[in-house]
Amino acid sequence: MIAALGETTGHLFLAQMRDRMLQDPTGRRILRERPKINSWTIDLVRLRELPDGSLGREYMRWLDAEGVSPDTRDQVRYVDSEELAYVMQRYRETHDFAHTLLGLDVTVESELALKWFEWTQTGLPMAALSSLFGPLRLTSAERRRLFSHYVPWAVECAAGSKFFMCVYFEELFERPLTEVRRDLGIYLPPDERNGKV
């Protein structure tokens, strides 16, 4: 349902995302090559064998810890343009890389922080709706923490970092996660849940 809503409401924003990708050499290459992120295209066993601290190893550690796989993303069905459908699919398939790079788990609070990041980067209505109405599921303390710490971080980090749709994550697996974060302009959120800001 949410995936269908994202597809049916995001045409203008998908076109803007595509246009941003076309302005970037890596974004253009991604649009031309149309790589897929799933267990058939990525050697998950090899990623588990990469050194600790590498993007690929930490991505697998995140997938394993959260009990998800790169195959859990719905296929795009309601976008008529083949190119824009690919942009939406790529957006979905890179979601778990965003979790890994941003150091966010899959709690409601973390997902909402990620939605604010995505909304800032993409403008997608689906991310906006999640960002605005998702906090209703939080306790008042969680909501206060979200808006005082995570939202300002997510907006600032997203605005100052490389557009994730122009990142060829598959080519960065062997690089240290800390270097990838630095090169993309990513910094971790405040960890207010554990009493640290």
As a whole number of angstroms, the distance between CA 144 and CA 159 comes to 22
Q: Are 113 and 104 in contact (CB under 8 A)?
A: yes
Amino acid, single-letter form, for residue 29: R
Residue 190 pLDDT: 86
Please report, for the chain, the start and end positions of each structural domain, with discontinuous segments joined by +: 2-194
What is the signed CA dihedral for 110, 75, 122, 181, rounded to 10 degrees?
Answer: 60
pTM (predicted TM-score): 0.89
pLDDT at position 10, please?
60
194: DSSP letter:
G
**pLDDT for res 113:** 95
Q: Identify which of 189, 181, 197 has the alpha carbon closest to the alpha carbon of residue 55.
A: 181
The one-letter amino acid at 87: V
Residue count of the chain, please give it: 197
Residue type, 66: E
Q: What is the mean pLDDT of residues 59-64?
A: 97
How large is the average pLDDT for residues 142-153? 95
**Distances from the Cα of 142 to the Cα of 41, 110, 118, 151, angstroms:** 38, 10, 20, 12
pLDDT at 5 over 50: no
User: Residue 137 above 50 pLDDT?
Assistant: yes
Is the separation of the CB atoms in 58 and 179 below 8 Å? no
pLDDT mean over 61-89? 90
